[in-house]
Amino acid sequence: MTSSRRTPQVFDYFLCGQKLKSVDSNPYLGVEISRTMSWNLHIDNTVKKANSVMGLVKRNLYAAPKETKILAYQSIVRPTLEYAASIWDPHTQKNITKLEKVQRSAARFVCSNYSRYSSVTSMLQELEWQSLQNRREAARLTNLYKIRKGDLHVTAADKRLIPTKSTRLHSARYKHLNSRTEVYKNSYFPKTIVDWNALPPSVIEAPSTPSFKERLKEHLIQRI
């Protein structure tokens, strides 16, 4: 065991008499958890896996109709990029760009356009594909809507979702959670509460989850 002001205490743990090995990261339910709570390794693994699947799609569907290519991307590639993304949604531009590059590559493949003079942004608009960043934000906010409605149970959520007296924008605002570190500041509740409080009443007051998703999608599109 070691201790100092800057070094956290390290303990030995045993299971059935066997000492557990100390590691810097370990996968849990498909998500790579690091001891520093950085998502860099998980995102690198996610991008690598998605590119691998995208490569398989390209090799087997290069001559397929556009609709088939879209279906392949949306059903087996994009889910890889979005698995449990509400938890690890990145805040650094470097990681955001890594993920978006996979979708931009998919857009070129779907449109069969690899010209260096063509605009990938225009292709994405033609396909009506939201950025992955916007989709992750929508997923986080939808989960918070479900928690608020009691449709999704999250341990100790009531200790983090504390109503505020301020009614600016809407009456369903929550207190911002103070954070001393970037890791906590950009974790699910602190980050999502900020986004939630900025939503217009028309979205917050949606009567059902499908209605909330539709209103939120329109709001995010108009915000661009």
| Residue appearing with tokens 């929550």 | 174
| Residue appearing with tokens 């896996």 | 49
pLDDT 10s digits, 73-121: 999 999 999 999 999 999 999 999 999 999 999 999 999 999 999 999 9
Sign of CA dihedral 68, 133, 183, 194: negative
Across all residues in the chain, what is the average pLDDT?
Answer: 92
Q: Give ∠ CA 193-199-204 in degrees, rounded to 5.
A: 95
Tell me how far CA of residue 186 lies from CA of 37, 139, 214, in angstroms.
11, 15, 25
Contact yes or no for 162/174 (Cβ under 8 A): yes
Phi-psi region of 84 (alpha: psi -120 to 50; beta: other; left: phi over 0): left
pLDDT for 50 beyond 50: yes
The stretch 120-134 carries a mean pLDDT of: 96
pLDDT 10s digits, 149-170: 999 998 888 889 999 887 777 7
The number of C-alpha atoms within 13 Å of 116 and in the hemisphere containing its C-beta is 0
